[in-house]
Structures are given as structure tokens and as C-alpha cells.
Amino acid sequence: MVDKRLFLWFMLTWALPLWAQDAIVHSVQLKPVVLLRTGLRIDFDYRFRNTLPPFDREPDFGANETARGIIPTVPPTGFIRNITDNELLLDMDHDRDFVANPTVTYKSIYDGHVVFKDLQVNTVRQGLTIPYTLTLYTYEHVCSGWLIVRSGWSGQFELAGRQWSMQVIDNLNGVYDSNDKMSLAEITSDGKRLIRASACNAPKRIVLAGHTYDLSCVFQDEQGSVLLNVAFTEVTSDLGTIQIEAKGVESLSLRNEQCLVLLNPSDVNAIIPEGDYHIDSCLLNYDPNLNGYPRFKIDDRIITVQSGHTTSLVVGTPLTNTITVNRHKNHLQLAYGLQGLGGEQYQFYNWKSRPSFDVYMGPIKIASRRFGYG
């Protein structure tokens, strides 16, 4: 007589590899690139209560004005600003010792802020050294400003029967997570690039071209160059239909806690996993007649997609100027807004012709003002 426990163990052991083989995995290699127009911003502020004391060992700066900060690599990279001499010293060994070990010194330029270009830093993960290129912006004194990560990983590949171009910017910690930025463009047969996601928070699950994939990204050394290996593992789920009306829209994406859904605005009906979504991004078509570019700001709607049901979504142009008025005693506060076809909000700065308003008492104009940025 066969032991039922042994029989159950045998069935599970035999069935597991077959189940694993059902998962379709597409592997992609992204190569390191230096980005000129895009990047990932990381703010820092080491003023007041956050002011850092001197590191363990420092050069003698005499009477020079100095300030200190930390770049959030792994381990952290300390830096010292020699403000008097317009210099930045980097602790490349991550040991807070700027004397025993050689440091790298950069000279600043002035471009509205003090700017240090092409800083070379690294993160060390499981013995792998991952290099990054940064630009650092700071104010003339103390230590406050922001970093722009200029390095990333990019590549082209085929997925779901279409050609894609993908770009990932890591936030210096050497781990793919939601703090990173991802861009994805579809490449048409005539070579055009259709943006599907533009510098959005990197997702762990993505829906594109009617397919759902789990994303897994791992850094790997290959012949002295650090590559980013991306695995797209196709998964299944219950699906619903979303009916799209997107006028003047180049790309549209939805997001919830589980995944990012990239939609083709020209598709009237899209099949996506069921769930509650909000609009993550709505990129409008470029208009050369505008001195600026409307950028998606926020949308409060919840888009509920249910299996076997159809949900409608309206976004895009024409855009409508709106003003919200709040009164506090004898003061009126006017807030400018730019609203899309479905009620979504955009921000727009036209540096030549900013939005303005006039206040009349009867036929007499008594006040006129221009709105600020946003």
C-alpha cells in the first residue's frame, strides 16, 4: 500500500518544475550610458541642525570657509566643500579619511548656483563596484542643494512582438526599487520613438501591449563593465476593459500598488488587469507654438477596472484655464489652474506670457497681477 504522504510529496516534487517552466521569462541587457538631458534628482540639506562636524581626518584648510555633506551611495561618500577655493573633495574610499587615502578634487563653475560637474562616485554591492556620474548643485555658502544622477543603463529589445527602448536610472544604492527612474519608448517600423513612460518611478510589475510582466533587475559585471540585467516574467491575472478618450496625448500611464500600466492613447479599448488605478502620467503632444510645455500635475480620480466590465477614461486637450478664489476677511486669494478634458490638472510656465488677471470695480480696473510658476 502506498503511503499517502509519500505519494503527495512525489506529486508536488514532480509538478513544481513543470509549473516553473510555464512562466515565460524574457531577459534583456542594458548597458551603461551617460545622460545629458535627463537625470534623477536627489536633494540634500546640511544646514543649521543638519550641519555635519569635521570628518575623522581632514586636510588643514586654515581660515578657509568649509562645509560638509554626504552622497547617498553604499557605503556613503563624504565630501568637503572648500568654499574659499571653489573646490570639492570626495572621499572615494568611503572611510571618512581625507588624509591617508588619496581624494579626488573638483573645481566648480557658477551658473546661477555653484556647480560641480562630472563627479565620479561608486556603490559597492556584494563585491561589485557600480560607478555613477553626478552633477552637484549647491548655494554659494553652507551645504544645501541637489544632485543629478547623469548615468544610467539603456538598451533596445523585442518584447510582445514589438521593439522597445528602455532606460533605468538608479538612485545610487545599487538596488532596483521604486526610488529609481524608468523610461520606456516603443520603436515603430519606420524608426519613430513613441514615449510610453517618461522618467517614472520604476515599477516591479508592468503592463504593456496587452501583456503583464514582473520585473527583476540585477547589476552584473561583464568584462569590466557593469550591466543591468532585466528579466520580464510574464504573469496572468483577471482582466477588464478600459475605454480611452485621449485627445492630444502622446503617452498615458496608470498605476496602483501592484503595477504600472502603459496605455497607447490611440487604442479605443485596452485590456488590463482588474484593480483600482490612478493616472500616473499624461504626456501631451508637443506644441511648437507654446513658449513652454504643459506637464501633468495630479488627478484625483480613481479608475476602477473590473473583470468582464468596461470603464471609461477621458483625458487630454483642449485645456481650460481655471481660477480658484478663497476669501479671508478682506483678502482674496486667487489660485491659477490648468485643467484637462477629464478634469486632470497640469502645470505650465509660459515665460513670455504668464497667466494674469484683472480686477474691476464696475467699469474701472483697480488691480492687475500675473501668476507665478505652476
Q: What is the pLDDT of residue 321?
A: 86
Contact by Cβ (8 Å): 302, 256: no
Q: What is the pLDDT of residue 13?
A: 43
Q: What is the pLDDT of residue 333?
A: 80
pTM value is 0.85
Residue 193 lies in a domain: no
Residue 259 lies in a domain: no
Q: What is the pLDDT of residue 16?
A: 43
Q: How long, in residues, is the chain? A: 374
Cell of 186: 516603443
Q: What is the 3-state secondary structure (H, E, C) of the chain?
A: CCCHHHHHHHHHHHHHHHHHHHCCEEEEEEEEEECCCCCEEEEEECCHHHCCCCCCECCCCCCCCEEEEEECCCCCEEEEEECCCCEEEECCCCCCECCCCCCEEEECEECCCEEEEEEEEEEEECCEEEEEEEEEEECCCCCEEEEEECEEEEEEEEECCEEEEEEEECCCCCCCCCCCEEEEEEECCCCCEEEEEEEEECCCEEEECCEEEEEEEEEEEECCEEEEEEEEEEECCCEEEEEEEEECEEEEEEECCCCEEEECCCCCEEEEECEEEEEEEEEECCCCCCCCCCEEEECCCCEEECECCEEEEEEECCCEEEEEEEEECCEEEEEEEEECCCCCEEECCCCCCCCEEEEEECCEEEEEEECCCC
Domain count along the chain: 2
Q: What is the pLDDT of residue 107?
A: 97
Residue 161 lies in a domain: no
Residue 228 lies in a domain: no
Low-confidence ranges of the chain (pLDDT < 70): 1-22, 291, 350-353, 372-374
Picking from 102, 134, 149, the residue at the C-terminal end of a domain is 149
Cell of 32: 551603461
Residue 269 lies in a domain: no
Q: What is the pLDDT of residue 7?
A: 44
Contact by Cβ (8 Å): 251, 195: yes
Cell of 358: 484683472
Cell of 17: 518544475
Picking from 129, 149, 169, the residue at the C-terminal end of a domain is 149
Phi, psi dihedrals of residue 17, rounded to the nearest 5°: -60, -35
Residue 310 lies in a domain: no
The whole-angstrom separation of Cα 148 and Cα 104 is: 19
Cell of 85: 577655493
- Please report, as a single letter, which amino acid is at residue 244: I
Show the domain range for 333: 320-370
Q: What is the pLDDT of residue 291?
A: 66
Phi, psi dihedrals of residue 21, rounded to the nearest 5°: -70, -20
Residue 285 lies in a domain: no
Residue 198 lies in a domain: no
The whole-angstrom separation of Cα 117 and Cα 115 is: 6
Q: What is the pLDDT of residue 183?
A: 95
Cell of 286: 508637443
Contact by Cβ (8 Å): 94, 123: no
Instruction: Give the distance, in angstroms, between the CA of residue 199 and the centroid of all CA atoms in the same chain.
Output: 4
The number of CA neighbours under 13 Å toward the Cβ of 139 is: 10
Picking from 149, 178, 209, the residue at the C-terminal end of a domain is 149
Q: What is the pLDDT of residue 3?
A: 54
The whole-angstrom separation of Cα 264 and Cα 253 is: 9
Q: What is the pLDDT of residue 156?
A: 96
Q: What is the pLDDT of residue 6?
A: 45
The whole-angstrom separation of Cα 353 and Cα 338 is: 15
